[in-house]
Chain A
Amino acid sequence: MPIVLKCHKGLGPTVTGTALVAEDNFSARYDLDRLKGIFSRPAHKLFRRSYVDRILVLQTAKGGVASAWMLREMAARGMAPKAIVFDRTNTILAQGAAFAELAMVDRFEAGDPITLIRTGDELRIEPDKGLVTILNRD
């Protein structure tokens, strides 16, 4: 049986993809080279890693309001993550996900998702049901 994690009802469509997990936070403005599709802030734990088409699993959203525009702009160029999973998001990333129609969930019943999900896990995110399924583990 795959592992099913319950979370708060989220935003965006149901998606499946591969997890990229870090004990760190997320800001599209501060942390990313959005043209190359990589994390560009040297202090970030995913520095130089590509986020394109990954399901990012991070602690919280940080920094400026620009991310609200940037997620849609990244999606328009095919350079966006497939979904973002947070322990707890801030308002900007939630608004940005709503604007970009990007899948986003947070507030898990079982605790912090960075301790529950591993890099490389295959995930199914169902925001309307508030469910994240780890497909490759039981």
Chain B
Amino acid sequence: MRLTEDEKAILAGEAGPARQWAIRHQMAVGEFFDAPELVPVGQAHVMADTESLGESGVAWLESLAALPERERRVRVPTITDPRGLDPASYKRLGQTDAMAAIEARAIAAFEALGVLMTNTCINYQTVLPPVRGEHLAMGDTGVVIYSNSVQGARSNFEGGPSALAAGLTGRTPRYGYHLDAHRAGTRHFEVKHRPRDLADWGALGGIVGKAANSYWEVPVVSGLDSWVEGPPNSDELKHFGAALASFGSVALFHMPGVTPEAPTLADAFGGQRRPASVPQAVPIGSSDFDAFYAGYAATGDKVDVVVFAAPQLSLIEMQRVAGLIDGRRVHAGTALVVATSPEIKFAADRMGLTARIEAAGGIVAAGVCFYQSYAREMAEANGWQRLLTNSAKLVNIIAGYGYKPTLASMEACIDSAVAGKVV
């Protein structure tokens, strides 16, 4: 890889051992992916919940945090993905003091590095939205796919160590979705059935993701600009993208007439650079949605926990949950968990939404996203198995933690939480 004079100095250890580790890591990854150089980034976003870090990861962060201040502070704004637990609600969710203690150690270490503890996977809605062409080092696959596709920014999936390395050097290897060559569409899907709600948008992401099934595929989803309802909104694209990334490991999609790099179908496939390369579309109709839901169906089963998360809820989603549960009561044998970002939680508190959800028996957790929060241990502590959610991403993830997940609309989830069984 070509290095600038500044980068060579970092590699030589002149900026301290943390930045030296960071650039060595970036060179190893960059050479694996044939990156010619490093590219400056505007932000880094670090996924580092303690369930993933473990004791060894936290101890490693603490070793960086013990360095002199000028050697340990990040060089570009560096923010965090959801944490392993919410200090205000962890006891109600059956999480332990030991989990809280290791979480506190990780937070202290990150703060010593100058990392902002935003604890959110919806930073593109709530912190500093990416802009077109901006190079980023984003963790959380849902953040990457939204930043790349809806906002036209440029990021690969950056795991926690790599995102932190980018914060420390202010750069990331230029490969994958930083390069024009990887951003043209490779697969074509045409939507014949307009998604009705957030669960449907997630289901669509799941359907396309299963078919695309590779980090290096760029699905183009056409047919969404011709509906009288207009284009999808930010929450709808959030659920679509999060599910697409989760099911397919996909980091970029185009929607002709909707997303910024695809004014037309031809543009989505590279436009002038790759003329006449629009492939035949795979149609997606109502039967595909039916089959997707059927894979998780459990009508009549007892519901142990209803979860709204993955991604964290926007203020608008919080308002919808509150409106649907007003004047009702969550069944005694069922838990209702709502996860949002700390900033949205403050707003929801201020506007009375949290109080309305909790008055009905729900738990509003901040700075977490359920699946990153010791999900297996929560299931064991609370006796949870059947999980109902409107997040297609969550149904994909959570089976590995011993849950039986079912996908349903927000309305059906709330009705089921009240009934104590899948309605």
How far, in whole Å, are A111 and B52 apart by their CA atoms in the complex? 33
Inter-chain contact B28/A98, CB cutoff 8 Å: yes
User: Known: A30-B396, A31-B400, A90-B215. Contact between A95 and B141, CB under 8 A?
Assistant: no
Tell me which of A9, A65, A91, A95 contacts B31 (CB under 8 A).
A9
Inter-chain contact B249/A98, CB cutoff 8 Å: no
Inter-chain contact B159/A10, CB cutoff 8 Å: no
> Which of B53-61, B85-93, B319-327 is near enough to bind chain A?
B53-61
> Which of A13-21, A38-46, A49-57, A112-120 is near enough to bind chain B?
A38-46
Inter-chain contact A69/B54, CB cutoff 8 Å: yes
Chain B residues in 8 Å Cβ range of A43: 399
Judged by a CB distance under 8 angstroms, whether A125 is at the interface is no
Judged by a CB distance under 8 angstroms, whether B95 is at the interface is no
Judged by a CB distance under 8 angstroms, whether A5 is at the interface is no
Chain B residues in 8 Å Cβ range of A32: 400
Chain A residues in 8 Å Cβ range of B161: 68-69, 72, 95-96, 98-99
User: Known: A64-B246, A64-B397, A66-B49. Contact between A95 and B158, CB under 8 A?
Assistant: yes
Inter-chain contact A68/B160, CB cutoff 8 Å: yes
Task: Assign chain B's interface to a size class.
Answer: 35 or more
How far, in whole Å, are A70 and B31 apart by their CA atoms in the complex? 22
Proximity bits, B47-76, A CB within 8 Å = 1, else 0: 111011111110010000000000000000
Inter-chain contact B159/A65, CB cutoff 8 Å: yes
Chain B residues in 8 Å Cβ range of A133: none
Inter-chain contact B400/A9, CB cutoff 8 Å: no
Inter-chain contact B157/A90, CB cutoff 8 Å: yes
Inter-chain contact A90/B32, CB cutoff 8 Å: no
Proximity bits, B176-218, A CB within 8 Å = 1, else 0: 1000000000000000000000000000000000000111100
Q: Which of B136-176 touch A at CB < 8 Å?
A: 139-141, 156-162, 176
Chain A residues in 8 Å Cβ range of B176: 91
Among residues of B, the one whose C-beta sits closest to the C-beta of A75 is B56
Judged by a CB distance under 8 angstroms, whether B423 is at the interface is no
Inter-chain contact A65/B47, CB cutoff 8 Å: yes
Tell me which of B52, B140, B400, B402 contacts A73 (CB under 8 A).
B52
Judged by a CB distance under 8 angstroms, whether B116 is at the interface is no
Among residues of A, the one whose C-beta sits closest to the C-beta of B138 is A65
How far, in whole Å, are A8 and B33 apart by their CA atoms in the complex? 9
Among residues of B, the one whose C-beta sits closest to the C-beta of A100 is B161
Proximity bits, B246-262, A CB within 8 Å = 1, else 0: 10110000000000000
Inter-chain contact A95/B29, CB cutoff 8 Å: yes
Among residues of A, the one whose C-beta sits closest to the C-beta of B398 is A30
Inter-chain contact A30/B157, CB cutoff 8 Å: no
Chain B residues in 8 Å Cβ range of A66: 47, 49, 51-52, 159-160, 372
Closest CB of chain A to B207's CB: distance in Å?
16
How far, in whole Å, are A77 and B31 apart by their CA atoms in the complex? 28
Known: A29-B397, A90-B215, A91-B158. 9 other contacts (CB 8 A): A30-B397, A60-B214, A65-B159, A66-B51, A66-B372, A68-B160, A68-B161, A69-B57, A70-B54
- Measuring CB to CB, which residues of chain B are less than 8 angstroms from any residue of chain A? 25, 28-29, 31-33, 47-49, 51-57, 60, 81, 139-141, 156-162, 176, 213-216, 246, 248-249, 371-372, 376, 396-397, 399-402
What are 11 A-B contacts defined by CB distance under 8 Å?
A9-B32, A41-B400, A63-B246, A64-B140, A72-B57, A72-B161, A88-B214, A91-B157, A95-B25, A95-B162, A96-B159
